[in-house]
Structure 1
Amino acid sequence: MGRWEPNSRERLAAAALELYGERGFEQTTVAEIAQRAGLTERTFFRHYADKREVLFHGAAALEQRFVQAVAAAPGAAAPMDAVAAGLEAVAEVFICLREQSRRRQAVIASNAELRERELIKLASLSAALADALRRRGVQDPAASLTAEAGIAVFKIAFERWVAPEERRELSPVMRECLRELRTAVAADGDRDR
């Protein structure tokens, strides 16, 4: 094995997903992941803090993309329209990643610790979105409510998108979920009058 291996991060991620699918997350070791990727454990730890990070390493970049799109939305955009711009920007990240996302989601769904970690990631994303909305001049509780609603749309759309029967790209699935949310909120508003 040479000192430098091209695509080490991607090879490690692919090996980890394969092994998690074959053996389960708990039963897979870092040594096995490195071996499957044709790399060393030392190389693994240069890229990931632990074997969970293989599943969550892109969270910061995803959050940054979402927040930047919300911030860049037209100034006159309603809060939920700004979040919709963020949803569109995030959907672009997942183009050509459906199968990898399905395998990742299956691993997370099968492990309580990973499900908890996913919820923490989503809560962090919601907080970042609420801050971005506040910087746009949206007051609380509207900023927090809109951010939480946007994360709910993301979560439900993502779950639909990774379902085996779904063939559409993530963007139209997100738009559909957003329309369903808006319809539900409008219907509730009609009942309150």
Structure 2
Amino acid sequence: MGRWEPDARGRMAQAALELYLDPGYEQTTVADIAERAGVTERTFFRHFADKREVLFSGSEQFQRVVLAAIEAAPEGAPPLDAVAAGMDAAAAALQSQPDPTFPRRRAAVIAANPSLQERELLKMATLATASARALVARGAEPGEAAVAAEAAGAAFRLAFERWTTSDEPLDLRALVADGVARFRALA
């Protein structure tokens, strides 16, 4: 494949994911990714800060989807309902990705590497903090906003884990909604 083929970023993400699964994340270098994608290392670094960012480069967009849905929730909606709408929007976005296998493969790579697990937890903690701020901006009391954001985040994480590890095709949105409903029942 020539260097000037379109969608270098997509090719690099695909190549990285394939290499992270075999031979493994730790064994894969940026040079390996660039070679498999048919680009130079310099091109790789124009798109990603390091090899870890291939897996986390969508975090900001993911957060924007959640926060936009929280903001768009009906006026007067309880904090948990508003943040659940954000998690539902995130689930819908994940389910509609062009490559439906990407989330499952990405999750497998992260599950196999403790430093990537730590980064994933940090991403979700950052999302919970941003979600709580968005709820406060809607008028929620800060403590209630924090609890709602953490609860919906936990429901999302558990649903996502089940979705990515199941051998059956599951609906992520339904799993998230079920998780939020279970939290309500416990509360």
TM-score tier, shorter chain, comes to over 0.9
**Counterpart secondary structure, 2:5:** coil
CA displacement 1:69-114 (0-9 Å, x = unmatched): 1011011211111011111211121124442111111111111111
CA displacement 1:117-137 (0-9 Å, x = unmatched): 111101110110000000001
CA displacement 1:121-179 (0-9 Å, x = unmatched): 01110110000000001012101111111110110010011013231221111111111
Larger radius of gyration: 1
For the residues of structure 1 that align with 2:134 and 2:17, how far apart are their CA atoms?
Answer: 33
2:145 matches 1:143:
yes
Indicate if the aligned counterparts of 2:132 and 2:145 stay in contact, CA closer than 8 A. Answer: yes
Of the candidates 158, 161, 176, which is equivalent to residue 160 of structure 2? 158
Q: Which amino acid aligns with 1:12?
A: M
2:101 matches 1:92:
no
C-alpha deviation, 1:3, in angstroms: 5.8
Question: What's the C-alpha RMSD, in Å, of the aligned pairs?
Answer: 1.3
Q: Which runs of 5 or more structure 2 residues have no equivalent in the other structure?
A: none
After TM superposition, list the pairs within 5 Å mapping 1:179-190 onto structure 2. Answer: 179-185=181-187
Aligned length: 185
Q: Percent identity?
A: 51
Q: Which amino acid aligns with 1:157?
A: A
Indicate if the aligned counterparts of 2:17 and 2:106 stay in contact, CA closer than 8 A. Answer: yes
Q: Which amino acid aligns with 2:131?
A: L
CA 1:117/1:138 → structure 2, altered by over 3 Å: closer, same or farther?
A: same
Q: Which amino acid aligns with 2:167?
A: E
2:24 matches 1:20:
no
CA 1:98/1:163 → structure 2, altered by over 3 Å: closer, same or farther?
A: farther
Q: Which amino acid aligns with 2:121?
A: L
Question: Which residue in the other structure is 2:31 paired with?
Answer: 31
Q: Which amino acid aligns with 1:173?
A: L
Question: Which residue in the other structure is 2:83 paired with?
Answer: 83
Question: Which residue in the other structure is 1:190 paired with?
Answer: none
Question: Which residue in the other structure is 1:121 paired with?
Answer: 123
**Counterpart secondary structure, 2:142:** coil
TM-score w.r.t. the length of structure 2 is: 0.94
Indicate if the aligned counterparts of 2:103 and 2:164 stay in contact, CA closer than 8 A. Answer: yes
Indicate if the aligned counterparts of 1:98 and 1:162 stay in contact, CA closer than 8 A. Answer: no
Question: Which residue in the other structure is 2:4 paired with?
Answer: 4
CA displacement 1:10-45 (0-9 Å, x = unmatched): 110110010010111110000000111111111111
Question: Which residue in the other structure is 1:171 paired with?
Answer: 173
C-alpha deviation, 1:5, in angstroms: 3.0
**Counterpart secondary structure, 2:165:** coil
Q: Which runs of 5 or more structure 1 residues have no equivalent in the other structure?
A: 186-193
TM-score w.r.t. the length of structure 1 is: 0.91
